[in-house]
Amino acid sequence: MNKLQQLKLVTTVVADTGEIEQIKLYHPQDATTNPSLILKAVQKPEYKHLVQEAMEWGAKKGIDRSSETYFTINRLLVNFGSEILKIIPGRISTEADARLSFNTDETVSESRQIIDFYKQKGIERDRVLIKIASTWEGIQAGKILEKEGIHCNMTLLFNYHQAIACAQAGVTLVSPFVGRIYDWYKKYKSREYSGKEDPGVQSVNRIYNYYRHLDIPTVVMGASFRNVGQIEELAGCDLLTISPSLMNDLQQDNSTLERCLSVESAKNQNVEPISVNEKDFRWHLNEDAMATEKLAEGIRSFSNDLNKLEGIIEDISSLA
């Protein structure tokens, strides 16, 4: 078996892309999208019909939130998610508006709307994860939504205390960003990292061991990989979301893949339970320069790409 096949035996493989044709090639269990990935996809002619449907649908609806463009964007995200769900057996992660990352109530409202759009397409909430930035406000939104049966994927997670707060909130899944952690340390420490010394790999290891040692039901999905070495070091993690290019690299490699993470190994770790309140959360995040910078940068990036996506919709509308 190639390494991608071997990885699927110990980890749920998730496609990290908004491009439907790419997902078909690698047969992942789940898929994740975000505004940046959708922005790339909508500019390709093969997805024009998904954009058109969202625009036509939005034009027919009376709106009491923001603008017609805003309303249409959510429909567009659901259109992509719905098409992806036709070709994967598992779940799709769809991002709530990153511009609401510091507003619990608005994030909850936005997430309910996305779930309602999926329901209108005949897709039940068990097949959808709402992606929410792991701010304190976002985590509290996740806590509310989970109690309603709306499952959450807490994204832009860079810090141990973020992960603990997510576990306390009872969210379904967390996404530690391996590659972005690696990027920060590479830049600011002026050195390369590989194998088990990679700070991004170490972050996921620590979170995974905490959750599995303490029997916390929240699952860990390593995300944002820069190379196959990072993926290999996390073989055995609950889930890994991987870009098509890196899935291709794994598929071309027929050497043996060793499992690095397991519940058994986590049980043998020295792990102490920690309780995190809002004051603790904000202090530890503030003390972590990498996490503070990368969380803010990620929110800005997703927000900017949402603005660009809205601009594309508005340009098309003006030509109609």
Q: Tell me, yes or no, if 131 is annotated catalytic.
A: yes
Nearest to 316 by CA among 46, 41, 56: 56
Instruction: From 195, 205, 197, select the one nearest 232 (Cα to Cα).
Output: 195
Q: Which of 8, 119, 121, 131 is catalytic?
A: 131
Burial (Cβ within 10 Å: 0-12, 13-18, ≥19) of residue 76: buried
Q: Which two tokens stand for residue 143?
A: 């806590």
- Spatial separation of the C-alpha atoms in residues 286 and 102, rounded to whole Å: 16
Q: How far is CA 58 from CA 46, 84, 303, in A?
A: 21, 21, 21
Residues that are catalytic: 131
